[in-house]
Amino acid sequence: MVLPLGDLHRTRITPVVTYALIALNVVMYVVQLQRGDDFMMALACTPWEITHAKDLDGPVLRPGVLAEVQRREANGERVRLDLRDVIPHAPSPIPVWLTLFTAMFLHGGPMHLAGNMLYLWIVGDNVEEVLGGVRYLIVYLACGLMGSLAQIAAAPNSMIPTLGASGAIAGIMGAYVVWFPHNQIRVLVFRFITVLPAAIVIGGWIALQIWLGVQGIGKMGESGGVAYLAHVGGALTGILVAFLFYDRAQQVKAMDEYGQGWQSIPPDGS
Residues taking part in catalysis: 166, 231
Q: Which of 94, 24, 96 is nearest to 53 (CA)?
A: 96
Whether 116 contacts 169, CB under 8 Å: yes
Contacts of residue 63, Cβ cutoff 8 Å, sequence gap at least 6: 157, 159
Please state, in angstroms and rounded to a whole number, the distance separating the CA atoms of residues 150 and 170: 13
Whether 120 contacts 17, CB under 8 Å: no
Vertex 24, ends 22 and 25: CA angle to 5°?
65
CB atoms within 10 A of CB 125: 23
What is the phi/psi pair of residue 184, to 5°?
Answer: -85, 130
